[in-house]
Structure 1
Amino acid sequence: MRRSLQVVVLLAAIATVAVGVGAFALMTDSSGDATGPSTTEPPSVDGDASVEQFESDAAFAEYVRASQRDSGGFFGGGRVTFQGGEEVAVETADAATNSQRAGGSDGGGSDARISDTNVQVQGVAEPDRLQTGQSTLYYADGRYWGGGYVREDGYGRTRIIDANDPAAPELVGGIDDSGQLLLVNDTLVVLSNERVTGYDISDRETPEQVWSVGLNAHIQTARMTEGRLVLVLQQGVTLDDPCPVEPFTDRPGTACTEVYHPGQGADASVTYTVVSMDPHTGDEHDRVTFLGTYQHSATYVTNDSVYLTYTQRTPYAETYQAYLQGSDLLYEQAHDRLDELATYELTRNARMTELSALVQDWLARQPADEREQLREELQSGYGEYVDERKRDLLRSGIVRIDRDGDSLSVAETGEVPGRPLNQWALDEHEGTLRIATTVDPHGATSVNDVYTLDGSLEIQGSALNMGETEQIYSVRFEGDTAYVVTFRQIDPFYTLDLSDPANPEIQGELKLPGFSRYLHPLSDDRILGIGEEDGQVKATVFDVSDPQNPTVAESRILDARWSAVAQTHHAFLYDQRHDVFFLPTERGGYVFDTELNEQTFVRTDSPATRAAYVGDYLYVFSNDGLTVVDEETWEPVSELPFDRVETEEPSEPVEEPAGPEPRPADEPVWPVEPVDAEWPAGPPGADATR
């Protein structure tokens, strides 16, 4: 199905293939193409603004081989492990769009009310291990830790729980399958490593498998919107047999002549296929396939569109060579050698080896008592060089795929400097796309920006230079306002006015210890932040009634070292009727009111994972079972144990770092040490007790 494509700016850029959490990119590399005279300007990520389809299978194979030869990128084909947590739901909502802020399925307060999954956009369902429908809850157990999910074939079970009597729920059925769940009418879709499967649950006691499709690909993102299942599938490229691209094991593939790619050479290591499906039958409506690389920034889904972003980073070797060529510290012979290197077809690592040897040779020729000073001058000069050019050296492309009924089409593309953290860094509001990015090419001083883009994805305005030396840890867009948290050693909390998209304005800034990983609106003038301080879970309520002077209304450090909210917003529950929120930890779940007064602590034998409310009862889930708490008295009223699934789980949940990217392989530790942004706090350490 060869489609026509409107102008698509998948920039043919030079980029590093850095494998990060939830990674995806459509990037390019010309490190092996430097055949002309060198200049003192590094190659910018700006390039050819065209995307095209391959003329033949041979052209596809040669494109991939050339990319592998030049970049040494990630190859291998086959599936990648299903990624749960943050990016499988792979994180902006107006004041009324978040289902939990509105009070769940029945915000009016009837006894039939039941909470929904905490999602980003109203009407766009996100997969999670817990789904609710009327008086029934579906909970997938399995080998879980943190927000992540790992499943082995044939492992795990999905429990079906009757909550007609909210105080005494009962197990009424189950499915010998487990994974991330999506629910639409009487169909439950289970997404796992191996397959996507649809079950008819109209009879809860005897659910029936209706359809199933095997996967050769990793599910990078899944959503349910307007009764349609949308998947973004990521698959490695196999050079021995690249055509057709087959993300499913038992369905026709995509011909290589139908795959889109940047007009210039790219780091082509994986394909990305966006698929629209009927969740009730498994029938496929349409698909669009791109050729790209493993590094991905964020995916944001609305009712009508899928936004895919991809990070383009100029390789360190190319930037460093351009800097050396313009340096007046080096002697003439060194410049002659640099000009010679520019004519060689080298991989990035080989080029960096040559440059490092050149600099070491230059230093060895200098008087011994001057070498350290010259080394420092060279390094500081490089920092100034990349700082002046950083918004050209690191950019993110944006592709908008529109959905019209069952059809998918590439509609618009654009680009912004920097890289978004995750789905919460993007938001569409009244025809304007807003995106928050961290600009931190290696060697530069990091800064953080917010950009507004029109319907054609052209930049309208920007608010620049928040949190110098820091990086974004959380973002929340609320109507005409944005809240941004950056962090390195302290936590600056920013408020921004986006009411005029052409002139975004930073209004206020508040500095405090620790950081917030997730932001949630409690009211028009209060924002809750969940994060960490000194290795302990921290909750902060920000008073934003005066946007130019945000303050801390309440703050509390918990007796816990981990919360699933750090990995996925699905673990967070807000109950508007009782004005409380639930926060799972490694020993159980806290319930706080919006003044951070503790209402109760629900102890669990294994880490608390999720919570839901049914009527005036709070359901707290762990892999061991379900505890029911009366929200009027905050006393436990019943327990529903689960049959234990045999598994070897870590004693503490393992937290995967999120945000900063690993240093690319072509970066040396000498002679120039790039400035890495700090990583978020790692896995919990010593045992924590309440």
Structure 2
Amino acid sequence: MKHMKLSTLAILGLVLICSLGISGCLSGNNQTGVADEVGMVPFTSEKQMQAYFSGNFSGDSYYGRDSFVRTGMVMEEGSVAGTGAVNNTGIISVSNNTTPASPSPISMDLKSNDMYYDTDAGSVDRVSGTNVQVQGVDEADIVKTDGNTIYYTPQVWYPTNMTLINNTYGSYYQYETFQTTFTIDALPPETADIISSIGAGGDLYLVNDTLIVIKNEALSAYNISDPSQPVLVWNEELDGYYRDSRMIDGKLYMVVQKYDLNGDGPIVYMDAKIDYNRCYYPVGPSIIHPSTDTTYFVSAVDIGNGHFGDTVALIGSYDSLLYASGNNLYLTNYFYPDTTAIELQFIQEHGSEYYPQETMNQINRVMGTDYLSESVKYNAVMEAVYSYIKTLTSEEQENYYNSYQKAYSAYLMDAIKDKETTTISKINLETFDVTTGTVPGRINDQFSIDEYDGYLRVATTVGSGWLTRDEQTNGVYVLDSNMKTVGQVTGLAQGERVYSARYVGDRLYLVTYKQIDPFFVVDLSDPQNPSVLGELKLPGYSTYLHPISENLVVGLGYADDWKMKLTLFDVTNVNSPVELDSYTFSNYSHSSALHDHHAFMWDADRNLLVLPTYEHAYVMEIKDGNISMVKDDVHKNATVIRSVYINNYLYTFSDKEIHILNQDTWELVKKISIPQPNYPENMYRPHPVSYY
């Protein structure tokens, strides 16, 4: 009986240590004695920074390293005029002379995604831009167009450097792979075709006569003044892995992450030393841990020459979120409660209710030792507890476990809800100064963050771990320019979590979910006193919200039977929002637009929404309070990825084809084939040696 109870205690301890899921079992920075408040602070010396990255930092800290090391290669860049076909090795010819023209500013209407370039657009009356979160802050995507020319990177990898291997297992090819970007002459649509291709693919930016191509480990710029012959101007191999970026007024801001920093010397990034006081690390009390599995480098990049200028480094996690306004870039870092420290704290505060004075003296001596780590203290305390439990009868043990577990479970829930925190580091894009604030809980995605009139508004969920999922709650917090909280509204939708958020001026639309979908309208006009104006409860939930007019919001998500669903919300009466209409898709239950807003295309002029869904591009009309499908554009045996419109024509993109549809008649005007990879026939092909 005693052995069984002891096993139960050991298992309980392991469960509690990992109670927040995977992240709770990862190593993090335990800043014991470093700071009572949570935040991001710069290192105070080169020596301190080196000690941190070598794992010898004071305060029982540890810098987590990712064991997954990716290998890859940067292919030679270039272009080929003509049909854009790729030869049987996948290699594309190189041309790298001339320089790019200087970029001009871009303006954008967020509701329609219309983008107007300061160039002579010829016969182009209207053209869609990338669906972005913030007007005037462009985001990289795999499709960019100025209305006359389209640049597209399909999700196809082409083989190169193929080597025939013969051994006892047979013959096969080893090879590397690369993506390519195709240049499409878009007008007139009847003769539209691929006119060139670039031996590099990935996320794209288009600024006047410059095309920026961002791959996982490289950044390139091409002069596309003659789209039929793109010319490589510069190429920079990234010192790390690309995470995200923004383009603001022709200035590129890159976020690159590195997993393999060490304490052998100063941090060197893109051949430049990063001063210790430009590198920020997380601090806080020992009862919570920051996620610290990577380091982010935020840089300003000159798109004229590829020079990396102002740079700051922030230690964070793979799930850190990026949000950018026109003036600032924000990066988050999640701090999860340390259940080991919480249990030790519980025993210190309430142990006398369960253990005799002799046992408590033993525990207090352990806890009062400064040179022991939290994990060593925990093991020593548990050994003292175990020694006491062995002296109890079976009935006394039963009573002890029941009483202890009930009290500790309640204490743990309160501690998690009280201590779970996210830091938000604001990087001023003019000075690259860093200011950090904190909010309770965890942030769902970039749309949960918004800057407006000098204030930052953030929606969070507190208690997002599996232990507290039934008691989780949500809140909205307002921070001033110094990143101090000045207003908040909390206690929203207990037992649910945030699934989507969208800010429109001084108003927030918020969706939480567990069994139903509460759609909240939150008033943020008074930053010090945010309040809930109205609420609508519906079955299902929305993962993405898109305002299409002053009082209409489209929600894309799932119905309660897990079929994909569109919902049209009317917020004319903010105190009583209503569902005007909904559309549930019968055959398919997924779209990349559910979790990637770049795939969501809204044409405000024609009240049309285009959703890529497997082989389909669903064209939905939202008009007069109704949602209806007006066209199902099918790409046979290919996954539809994106769509754009130019004038009165809709272009839909898959990995194999581009379709051009007349929006007046919905007739297919032109079909353009995407060159596919060529492999030797009848030959076994293992996975590629490397990707990039």
Provide the C-alpha distance between the structure 2 equivalents of 1:270 and 1:420, rounded to a whole number of angstroms. 19
Q: Any gaps of 5 or more consecutive residues in structure 1?
A: 1-13, 35-44, 83-96, 145-151, 648-690
Provide the C-alpha distance between the structure 2 equivalents of 1:496 and 1:362, rounded to a whole number of angstroms. 53
Structure 1 residues 498 and 259 mapped into 2: Cα distance closer, same or farther (>3 Å)?
closer
Residues 6-25 of structure 1 mapped to structure 2, 5 A cutoff: none
Provide the C-alpha distance between the structure 1 equivalents of 2:60 and 2:261, rounded to a whole number of angstroms. 17
Q: CA deviation at 1:379?
A: 3.9
Match of 1:424 in 2: 447
Contact 2:31 2:284 in 1 (8 A): no
Structure 1 residues 379 and 544 mapped into 2: Cα distance closer, same or farther (>3 Å)?
farther
Match of 1:488 in 2: 514
2:424 corresponds to 1:398: yes
Match of 1:279 in 2: 303
Match of 2:266 in 1: 244
Match of 2:41 in 1: 51
What secondary structure, in the 3-state scheme, does the structure 2 residue paired with 1:246 have? strand
One-letter amino acid of the structure 2 residue matched with residue 640 of structure 1: I
Structure 1 residues 233 and 68 mapped into 2: Cα distance closer, same or farther (>3 Å)?
farther
Of residues 473, 476, 495, the one that matches 1:447 is 473
2:65 corresponds to 1:75: yes
Match of 2:30 in 1: 29
One-letter amino acid of the structure 1 residue matched with residue 147 of structure 2: Q
Residues 272-421 of structure 1 mapped to structure 2, 5 A cutoff: 272-290=296-314, 292-294=315-317, 296-327=319-350, 329-332=353-356, 335-342=360-367, 343=369, 368=394, 375=401, 377-390=403-416, 392-404=418-430, 408-421=431-444
Match of 1:592 in 2: 620
Structure 1 residues 213 and 160 mapped into 2: Cα distance closer, same or farther (>3 Å)?
same
One-letter amino acid of the structure 2 residue matched with residue 535 of structure 1: W
One-letter amino acid of the structure 1 residue matched with residue 181 of structure 2: T
Provide the C-alpha distance between the structure 1 equivalents of 2:554 and 2:384, rounded to a whole number of angstroms. 53
Contact 1:28 1:267 in 2 (8 A): yes
Q: CA deviation at 1:101?
A: 1.2
Provide the C-alpha distance between the structure 1 equivalents of 2:483 and 2:278, rounded to a whole number of angstroms. 25
Of residues 214, 218, 236, the one that matches 1:195 is 218
2:156 corresponds to 1:125: no
2:542 corresponds to 1:519: no
Q: CA deviation at 1:263?
A: 7.0
Provide the C-alpha distance between the structure 2 equivalents of 1:30 and 1:191, rounded to a whole number of angstroms. 36
Match of 2:258 in 1: 235
Match of 2:243 in 1: 220
Match of 1:510 in 2: 536
Provide the C-alpha distance between the structure 2 equivalents of 1:436 and 1:67, rounded to a whole number of angstroms. 33
Q: CA deviation at 1:504?
A: 0.5
What secondary structure, in the 3-state scheme, does the structure 1 residue paired with 2:627 have? coil
Contact 2:553 2:568 in 1 (8 A): yes
One-letter amino acid of the structure 2 residue matched with residue 450 of structure 1: V
Q: CA deviation at 1:381?
A: 2.7
Provide the C-alpha distance between the structure 2 equivalents of 1:219 and 1:555, rounded to a whole number of angstroms. 38
Provide the C-alpha distance between the structure 2 equivalents of 1:256 and 1:19, rounded to a whole number of angstroms. 31
Structure 1 residues 526 and 136 mapped into 2: Cα distance closer, same or farther (>3 Å)?
same
2:578 corresponds to 1:551: yes
Provide the C-alpha distance between the structure 1 equivalents of 2:638 and 2:449, rounded to a whole number of angstroms. 34
Q: CA deviation at 1:58?
A: 6.7
Q: Larger Cα Rg: Structure 1 or Structure 2?
A: 2
Q: Which stretch shows the higher mean deviation, 54-63 or 638-647?
A: 54-63
Contact 1:295 1:310 in 2 (8 A): no
Structure 1 residues 159 and 376 mapped into 2: Cα distance closer, same or farther (>3 Å)?
farther
Provide the C-alpha distance between the structure 1 equivalents of 2:154 and 2:281, rounded to a whole number of angstroms. 39
Structure 1 residues 598 and 350 mapped into 2: Cα distance closer, same or farther (>3 Å)?
farther
Structure 1 residues 557 and 324 mapped into 2: Cα distance closer, same or farther (>3 Å)?
farther
One-letter amino acid of the structure 2 residue matched with residue 634 of structure 1: W
Contact 1:156 1:645 in 2 (8 A): no
CA displacement, residues 402-432 of structure 1 (integer Å, 9 cap, x when unaligned) = 122xxx3215332221221121111111222
Provide the C-alpha distance between the structure 1 equivalents of 2:410 and 2:545, rounded to a whole number of angstroms. 34
Q: Which stretch shows the higher mean deviation, 252-261 or 468-477?
A: 252-261
Structure 1 residues 320 and 180 mapped into 2: Cα distance closer, same or farther (>3 Å)?
same
Greater percentage in strand: 2
One-letter amino acid of the structure 2 residue matched with residue 254 of structure 1: I
Provide the C-alpha distance between the structure 1 equivalents of 2:424 and 2:442, rounded to a whole number of angstroms. 11
Structure 1 residues 281 and 223 mapped into 2: Cα distance closer, same or farther (>3 Å)?
same
Of residues 593, 604, 610, the one that matches 1:565 is 593
RMSD after superposition: 3.5
Structure 1 residues 588 and 304 mapped into 2: Cα distance closer, same or farther (>3 Å)?
same
Larger RCO, structure (CA 8 Å, separation 6 or more)? 1
Contact 2:450 2:503 in 1 (8 A): yes
Provide the C-alpha distance between the structure 2 equivalents of 1:68 and 1:623, rounded to a whole number of angstroms. 52
Match of 2:458 in 1: 435
Match of 2:526 in 1: 500
2:182 corresponds to 1:159: yes
Q: CA deviation at 1:267?
A: 7.1
Structure 1 residues 300 and 80 mapped into 2: Cα distance closer, same or farther (>3 Å)?
farther
Provide the C-alpha distance between the structure 2 equivalents of 1:616 and 1:294, rounded to a whole number of angstroms. 44
CA displacement, residues 242-261 of structure 1 (integer Å, 9 cap, x when unaligned) = 4332343xx33425465344
Provide the C-alpha distance between the structure 2 equivalents of 1:494 and 1:611, rounded to a whole number of angstroms. 30
Q: CA deviation at 1:203?
A: 1.1
Contact 2:591 2:611 in 1 (8 A): yes
What secondary structure, in the 3-state scheme, does the structure 1 residue paired with 2:261 have? coil
Structure 1 residues 137 and 367 mapped into 2: Cα distance closer, same or farther (>3 Å)?
farther
Q: Which stretch shows the higher mean deviation, 562-571 or 60-69?
A: 60-69
CA displacement, residues 215-266 of structure 1 (integer Å, 9 cap, x when unaligned) = 2312222111111110122112433x64332343xx3342546534457898
One-letter amino acid of the structure 2 residue matched with residue 542 of structure 1: F
Structure 1 residues 510 and 355 mapped into 2: Cα distance closer, same or farther (>3 Å)?
farther
One-letter amino acid of the structure 1 residue matched with residue 143 of structure 2: L
Structure 1 residues 481 and 167 mapped into 2: Cα distance closer, same or farther (>3 Å)?
farther
- Paired residues, number: 590
Q: CA deviation at 1:388?
A: 3.9
Contact 2:46 2:266 in 1 (8 A): no
Structure 1 residues 126 and 398 mapped into 2: Cα distance closer, same or farther (>3 Å)?
same
One-letter amino acid of the structure 2 residue matched with residue 286 of structure 1: D
Structure 1 residues 181 and 326 mapped into 2: Cα distance closer, same or farther (>3 Å)?
same
Provide the C-alpha distance between the structure 1 equivalents of 2:542 and 2:455, rounded to a whole number of angstroms. 26
Provide the C-alpha distance between the structure 1 equivalents of 2:348 and 2:108, rounded to a whole number of angstroms. 53
Contact 2:583 2:628 in 1 (8 A): no
Provide the C-alpha distance between the structure 1 equivalents of 2:349 and 2:415, rounded to a whole number of angstroms. 14
Match of 1:629 in 2: 661
Structure 1 residues 228 and 493 mapped into 2: Cα distance closer, same or farther (>3 Å)?
same
One-letter amino acid of the structure 1 residue matched with residue 30 of structure 2: D
Contact 1:142 1:645 in 2 (8 A): no
One-letter amino acid of the structure 2 residue matched with residue 101 of structure 1: K
Structure 1 residues 634 and 106 mapped into 2: Cα distance closer, same or farther (>3 Å)?
farther
One-letter amino acid of the structure 2 residue matched with residue 185 of structure 1: N
Residues 599-638 of structure 1 mapped to structure 2, 5 A cutoff: 599-604=630-635, 605-638=637-670
Match of 2:682 in 1: none
Provide the C-alpha distance between the structure 2 equivalents of 1:358 and 1:492, rounded to a whole number of angstroms. 49
Q: CA deviation at 1:441?
A: 6.2
Structure 1 residues 601 and 345 mapped into 2: Cα distance closer, same or farther (>3 Å)?
farther
Provide the C-alpha distance between the structure 2 equivalents of 1:500 and 1:191, rounded to a whole number of angstroms. 40
Q: CA deviation at 1:77?
A: 8.8
Q: Which stretch shows the higher mean deviation, 63-72 or 587-596?
A: 63-72
Contact 1:167 1:617 in 2 (8 A): no
For normalisation by structure 1, the TM-score amounts to 0.77
Report percent identity of matched pairs.
29
For normalisation by structure 2, the TM-score amounts to 0.77
Q: CA deviation at 1:156?
A: 1.3
Q: CA deviation at 1:284?
A: 2.4
Provide the C-alpha distance between the structure 2 equivalents of 1:387 and 1:124, rounded to a whole number of angstroms. 40
Provide the C-alpha distance between the structure 2 equivalents of 1:57 and 1:399, rounded to a whole number of angstroms. 24
Provide the C-alpha distance between the structure 2 equivalents of 1:395 and 1:100, rounded to a whole number of angstroms. 32
